[in-house]
Amino acid sequence: MAETTHWTGSDKYLCDPALAQAFHMARTLGMPLLIEGEPGTGKTELPIHYAKDRGLDLEVYPVGSKSNIEQFVARFDHVKYLRDSQIEILNAQREEKGLESKLTTGNRNPEKLGDYVVKGPAAIAYSKPNSVLLIDEIDKAPREFPNDLLYALSHRKFIMPESGEVIEISEADMPAIVITSNREQELPTAFKGRCIYHYIDFPDKEVMGKIIEKHHPKLDEKVVRVALDVFYHLRRLGLERAPTTREILNWLKYMGDIAPKEAVKKIEGLEGIGALIKTQTDMERVNRMIGADDTFGGSRLN
Amino acid sequence: MLSSLPEKFRSHGLKADVRTLLLLRKAMQKGLIKTLGDIYNVLKGIVVKEPSEMGPFTKAYYEYFLYVPIEPGQTLEDAILRSETFAKWKTQFLDEAGKDLSDEELVTEFLDQVHLTSYDIKEVINGKEIWDKDNPDLADEDGLENDGEPAERVLDKMADYSDLSLEELLERMEKVREQQKTRHGGGSHWIGTGGISPYGHGGAAKNGIRVGGQGGGKMARKVMGDKNYFPIDRDALLNDNNVDAALASIKGVIEESAIEKLDVPLTIKSGLKRGGLFIPELSSEKNEELKVIVLIDNGGYSMAPYVRSVQNLFRKMKTRFAHDLEVYYFHNTIYNRVYVDERRTKSITIDKLLAHSKRYRVFFIGDAAMAPYELDSHSIQSIQSIVSKFKKCVWLNPEPLKYWPYTYTIQVMKELVPMFPLSPAGIERAVRKMNEKSSN
């Protein structure tokens, strides 16, 4: 039986209630959960922490521009197969010539096709009841990839190439599937139709405070407050690439080693702001708009 | 049951069909739906497939389940305050509450009740149980009776409720829905006070929420106030708020594929060199192409309000397709040259424009409104030559669709270039049109 209890986060991961509910719903219905939202809102973290917290096996498939369904499910390694069969011939020839040494096929037997099937994360997850499968950043995939996934996701069954082995799982045992996307490309309607959809809103100040506490529990309250002010102020500037959760966490990690009073000063002086601002244009913009504080604060500190 | 739901949701531009109902049914079977708020959540997960659909979805939900119509441009709060449904609910609520609340507080309370989910209830119950266990002595005291009771009642009612069959549940849901419409429906069948919510009149639900404090209540208010949930009119012309939706649709033009292939010639060649030992050689074939030419009409006052949004849109595109995006400007229509800069001082001839690879996709952006004499045979020829060279051309027009029939030059231009409104929905259709052609 797959795990379908309502999971609301762990001590390391603060799960937005709406996301927790959508996740629960997806698991109960045995459907994949498609999460979209700004980068750095913890999309990928959800299945990782869920699997860790509940002690489940996690399979990850990071999607890239060359992803294809074979990598995801399983592929037949023709190269190794050809190599090994060539080696067999070669060994036979060597034997004929009375040579002792043999080349090895690494325990693979060209007679057994199953030895050459390389299982991808999907096949592995489907062969283990009650596991977690993460398909990360599906929007990076070639256009046909999501469509190819359709079949894989809606039929709980894979047939391994060449060997014909069947991997099948019951609806009750379906792995919890989480798919993340940064919306860099629109996904096909039919694909979205097979998923439970959830859009993560950017956390507000209050929630962000809690997230920070989970990651840096020892941080001084005042430091966090000041940092949050700066952070949300920067987000309001309409930058090309607004700073995200990940960035403020990194920034504060750096501040964590400094005495609170000092840290507040540093934050107000926008020190280490490079952790938050990612493009040159944005940096120029920030300098132009609140740059006075920067040089001012900076010089005072030095 | 609820058979009119897909139709209603589709009329709001959402994708809903019989499968939506089947999934909804499955969700009920699995015990995911116990309150009206649950329906909102579950349907949202099933129906909404991108952030821009959140608005239309909320609108459809309020209309269908609560008979609260939301006019274009109206806020949810306004719509609720003006609705008959709210008026009826208010009368009853105020009777029970025995205190006066401001409109704002009332709406918050209303949202609480509408969006109360079974998760919230469970949270309250769990919280109560733990609390009661921790304080066995206190729980026995009379003074705390009031606090202890509601939780138990919720539990009782929840248990009662689980005996309901799916059919009964559906029937009840439909009935409640109907009753919210009719004038005499009020009374005992109301959201949170009966009907769809499992807890009886005099609402354990309400007490539950009070005990719990947070959950449905604060959440609902916060969520509904979010701009993502606020109905965004997808047919509204492009502005800063919906530029992201537009960008999402424009990204649909990307054509990308990558495959690893066995390189047969290379395999044979290197195999022969190895004396007949063939080791497969792989080569990757990668295609990624999105070459875009944007022709913007930046002359004339009529275009002025849109220039910024349009540029914003393509600037965002540019960050992604840095080398494959070219922007040119024109005034009203194109004669024998287009301009390289916004102020139209530097230009290139139309021949030079036509020298681009025919794989470029061309977006015209302009209102196509001009004096009829401006669109002379010379200009028509130029446009035609662009269209015939670059097979994938569309015209995006910021002028509201309803005015198109009254502008002669729009009519003419429409015949030359497929024209779509400059709205997220329009861009989506334009992109679809482009991709259609590419398959031929």
Neighboring chain B residues of A18 at a CB cutoff of 8 Å: 41, 219, 223
B274/A contact by beta carbon, under 8 A: no
Q: Residue A42 half-sphere exposure, CB side, CA atoms within 13 Å?
A: 23
- What residue type is B26 in one-letter code? K
Q: pTM of the entire structure?
A: 0.65
Q: Residue B339 half-sphere exposure, CB side, CA atoms within 13 Å?
A: 15
Interface of B with A in 299-338 (CB under 8 A): 319-320
pLDDT score for A58: 93
pLDDT score for B340: 84
Q: Strand A166-168 relative to strand A157-159: parallel, antiparallel, unpaired?
A: antiparallel
Residue in this structure with the two tokens 């309409």, named with its chain if needed = A238
Contact A198, B48 (CB under 8 A): no
How high is the ipTM of this complex?
0.76
Angle at B224 between CA B222 and CA B230, to 5 degrees: 130
CB contact (8 A) between residue B257 and residue A22: no
CB contact (8 A) between residue A185 and residue B251: yes
Residue spans of beta strands (DSSP E) within B26-144 = none
What does the alpha-carbon distance between residue B44 and residue B56 come to, in Å, rounded to a whole number? 11
- The answer on pLDDT for A78 being more than 60 is yes
B343 CB neighbour count, 10 Å cutoff: 8
B429/A contact by beta carbon, under 8 A: no
Per-residue pLDDT of A180-216, as tens digits, reads: 998 777 788 888 888 999 988 888 888 888 888 888 8
Nearest to A199 among B30, B51, B252 (CB): B51
Neighboring chain A residues of B40 at a CB cutoff of 8 Å: none
B118/A contact by beta carbon, under 8 A: no
CB contact (8 A) between residue A65 and residue B19: no
Neighboring chain B residues of A86 at a CB cutoff of 8 Å: 277-279
- Note the Cα B131 to chain centre separation in Å: 41
What does the alpha-carbon distance between residue B124 and residue B428 come to, in Å, rounded to a whole number? 44
Which tokens belong to A118? 């390389």
Phi and psi at residue B418, to the nearest 5°: -60, 125
B179/A contact by beta carbon, under 8 A: no
Residue in this structure with the two tokens 């398909």, named with its chain if needed = A135
CB contact (8 A) between residue A86 and residue B320: no
pLDDT score for B287: 52
Q: Which helix (H) or strand (E) holds A167?
A: strand A166-168
Neighboring chain A residues of B230 at a CB cutoff of 8 Å: none
- Residue A176's beta-bridge partner residues? A132
**Between residues A151 and B160, the one the model is more confident about:** A151
Contact A77, A119 (CB under 8 A): no
A66/B contact by beta carbon, under 8 A: yes
Mean pLDDT is lowest, of A38-52, A245-259, B179-193, for B179-193
Neighbour-count burial of B162, counting CB atoms closer than 10 A to its CB (0-12 exposed, 13-18 middle, 19+ buried): exposed
pLDDT score for A60: 93
**Between residues A2 and B142, the one the model is more confident about:** A2
Phi and psi at residue B273, to the nearest 5°: -60, -35
pLDDT band at A23 (very low <50, low <70, confident <90, very high): very high
CB contact (8 A) between residue A193 and residue B49: yes
A17/B contact by beta carbon, under 8 A: yes
B280/A contact by beta carbon, under 8 A: yes
In angstroms, what separates the C-alpha of B343 from chain A's closest C-alpha? 23
Helices (H), B182-259: 204-212, 216-225, 243-250
In angstroms, what separates the C-alpha of B34 from chain A's closest C-alpha? 13
CB contact (8 A) between residue B284 and residue A66: yes
Closest chain A residue to B220 measured between Cα atoms?
A: A18
B23/A contact by beta carbon, under 8 A: yes
Nearest to B257 among A17, A143, A193 (CB): A143
In angstroms, what separates the C-alpha of B256 from chain A's closest C-alpha? 5
Contact A7, A23 (CB under 8 A): yes
CA nearest to B40, candidates B74, B71, B76:
B76
What does the alpha-carbon distance between residue A147 and residue B125 come to, in Å, rounded to a whole number? 43
Interacting residues of B225 by C-beta distance below 8 A, sequence separation 6+ = none
CA nearest to B367, candidates B237, B248, B244, B232:
B237
B32/A contact by beta carbon, under 8 A: yes
A201/B contact by beta carbon, under 8 A: yes
Nearest to B278 among A18, A68, A82 (CB): A82
- One digit per residue, the tens of pLDDT, for chain B of length 440 reads 678 888 989 988 888 888 888 888 888 888 888 777 888 888 999 998 887 788 888 888 888 888 888 877 777 788 888 888 888 878 877 777 777 778 888 888 888 777 777 777 666 555 555 444 444 444 333 333 334 334 433 433 433 344 455 566 666 666 666 665 554 433 334 444 433 343 333 333 333 332 223 334 444 555 555 444 444 444 555 555 555 666 666 655 554 444 567 777 788 778 777 777 777 777 766 555 667 888 888 766 667 677 666 766 766 666 555 566 788 888 888 888 888 877 778 888 988 888 888 888 888 888 888 888 888 888 899 999 999 998 889 998 888 888 888 888 899 999 999 999 887 778 878 877 877 744 44
